[in-house]
Amino acid sequence: MKEPLLLLPGMMCDARLYTPQINAFSAERPTIFVPLRGANSMRALAKMVLDVAPSQFALAGLSMGGIVAMEIMRLAPERVTRLALLDTNPLADPADKAEMREAQVSQVRNGQMAAVMRDEMKPNYLADGPGKLQLLELCMEMANDLGPTVFEDQSNAIQNRPDQTETLRGVKIPTLILCGREDSLCPIERHELMHDLIDGSVLKVIAGAGHLPTLEQPEQTNKCLRDWLNSGIGCD
């Protein structure tokens, strides 16, 4: 049996973030989506994932999911057979973002999550394209379904996340670093840094995608993931 694939979502996203990947890979191997809820630190979230994961697995995480994936590599590297980091960031949250995150949490506590998602988060998510409006609405639906408690917990986890540069220096498994060319939340420079930190990793930049290439450019993204899973890393 092929190694299981674990998929970890971005902030305020559910399994719909990976619909094209689940459809593509579930016929080939066990494909497991693990939600990131019920804890407010990266360490606790990583431990929750490890508690439900198989003994060994290929691990892919997007955005916040990538940050949790890096924490899993810090806690239990022996359980991960290969690693894919998508549209994510290995660095700690800058101190100057604390006020912004706390203001967002305050708004959400006051029943304004839709406004936070609409005005402060969604505009930075996606590249321009014919499907942008539909995908933005999907982002809003996922956030609404997860609700304000998950938003606050995930915000706290992101704000207090550790720097993972030393963790990445120790990664010795096949690793794919992938991002959308127009990702303004986690720009290409962050992915170049991760690529430089992990010996033998491959960096792929997806044209026509922003922060969510799994949905914006699923065919390109799936090709990269399939090559990473089946024959090593990277894609043509």
Q: Give the distance, in angstroms, between the CA of residue 112 and the centroid of all CA atoms in the same chain.
A: 24
pLDDT (0 to 100) of residue 234: 46
Q: Is residue 222 part of a domain?
A: yes
205 has which bridge partners? Answer: 179
| pLDDT tens digits, 133-175 | 899 999 999 999 999 999 999 999 999 999 999 999 999 999 9
Q: Is residue 18 part of a domain?
A: yes
For 118, which DSSP code? I
pLDDT digits (tens, 9 = 90+) for 42-85: 999 999 999 999 999 999 999 999 999 999 999 999 999 999 99
The answer to whether 214 and 17 are in contact (CB under 8 A) is yes
**Is the residue at 129 inside a domain?**
no
Residue 198 has pLDDT above 80, yes or no: yes
Residue 133: count of CB within 10 angstroms of its CB: 10
The kind and range of the H/E element at 86 are strand 80-86
Domain count for the chain, please give it. Answer: 1
Query: Is pLDDT at 235 greater than 60 in this prediction?
Result: no
pTM of the complete model? 0.95
Q: Which domain holds residue 169?
A: 5-94+155-231
Supply the CATH number for residue 38's domain.
3.40.50.1820
Environment class of residue 179 by beta-carbon count within 10 Å: exposed (0-12), middle (13-18) or buried (19+)? buried
